């Protein structure tokens, strides 16, 4: 996976401009109050877009990600913003340590790249271990409807005159999983386009299965809502949010 993200890291920010990261900050503030002075773990932090926004609110942020190329972009972003943020290369399944964080976030379906129940459970256990008593975990995942219906309506295309892609999807081997092949075309200074390819697998689980795994670890579920709204999931919800507390 690390190698797969090497070139993707160079275009990631351009593709994420419509993601409401400010809304994610507000959701975390609603869950734990003012972020100033709070220790927050940003799991699957990517290029640090959310990490920086959290730090600008006064949080003491640590970001982890599997891809060192993504983290290099994140480190430069923090430097450019004159922020002190610790970034570490670490798979989320390997989180472990002493309880020192007030909150953890796994934003923008990063957890869906963890494709077995055992690894999801291990991720929850690791986060539980590093949260203080009363600490909060906030994360979102794709719904089973999105996996089984929306994603399989491809192929999808994108073109903003700087970056273009063709995104083809097919049903994965496991239930509620999708295999994606993306061909990217990035415009160079010469006016010619450079092509690179990405292959990704994502998997989700039903809402009640996530709830069971969280409870097995010891988390208390405070909220389950969908699609950035304070409403419970329904049959055609696309993004499911969980707010849980240690």
Q: What CATH number did the domain enclosing 23 receive?
A: 3.40.50.150
Supply 111's token pair.
């957890």
Q: How does the average pLDDT of the chain come out, rounded?
A: 94
- Residue 106 and residue 219 share a domain: yes
Express each pLDDT in 200-220 by its tens digit: 999 999 999 999 999 999 999
The mean-pLDDT minimum among 12-21, 102-111, 174-183 falls in 12-21
Q: Is the pLDDT of residue 8 over 90?
A: no
Containing structural domain, residue 84? 5-142+206-245
Return the number of other C-beta atoms located less than 10 Å from residue 11's C-beta: 16
Q: What CATH number did the domain enclosing 171 receive?
A: 2.20.25.110
- Residue 90 and residue 125 share a domain: yes
- Residue 195 and residue 172 share a domain: yes
- Residue 136 and residue 153 share a domain: no
Report the number of distinct structural domains present in the chain. Answer: 2
In terms of pTM, does the model score above 0.85? yes
- Residue 196 and residue 96 share a domain: no
- Residue 231 and residue 137 share a domain: yes
- Residue 158 and residue 133 share a domain: no
- Residue 124 and residue 41 share a domain: yes
How far CA 143 is from CA of 53, 176, 177, 203, in Å, comes to 26, 9, 11, 10
């Amino acid at each position: 996976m690390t190698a797969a993200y090497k070139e993707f890291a160079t275009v990631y920010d351009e593709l994420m401009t419509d993601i409401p990261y400010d809304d994610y900050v507000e959701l975390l503030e609603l869950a734990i109050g003012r972020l100033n002075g709070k220790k927050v773990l940003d799991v699957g932090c990517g290029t640090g877009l959310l990490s920086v926004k959290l730090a600008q609110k006064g949080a003491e942020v640590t970001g982890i990600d599997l891809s060192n190329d993504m983290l290099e972009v994140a480190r430069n972003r923090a430097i450019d913003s004159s922020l002190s943020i610790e970034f570490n290369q670490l798979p989320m399944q390997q989180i472990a340590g002493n309880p020192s964080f007030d909150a953890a976030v796994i934003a923008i379906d990063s957890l869906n790249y963890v494709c077995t129940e055992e690894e999801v459970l291990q991720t929850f256990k690791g986060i539980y271990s590093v949260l203080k008593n009363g600490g909060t975990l906030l994360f979102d995942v794709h719904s089973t409807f999105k996996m089984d219906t929306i994603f399989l309506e491809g192929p999808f295309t994108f073109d903003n005159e700087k970056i273009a892609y063709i995104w083809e999807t097919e049903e994965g081997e496991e239930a509620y999983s999708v295999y994606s092949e993306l061909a990217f075309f990035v415009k160079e200074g010469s006016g010619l386009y450079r092509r690179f390819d990405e292959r990704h697998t994502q998997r989700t689980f039903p809402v009640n299965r996530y709830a069971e795994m969280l409870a097995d670890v010891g988390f208390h579920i405070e909220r389950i809502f969908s699609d950035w709204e304070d409403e419970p999931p329904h049959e055609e919800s696309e993004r499911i949010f969980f707010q849980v507390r240690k």
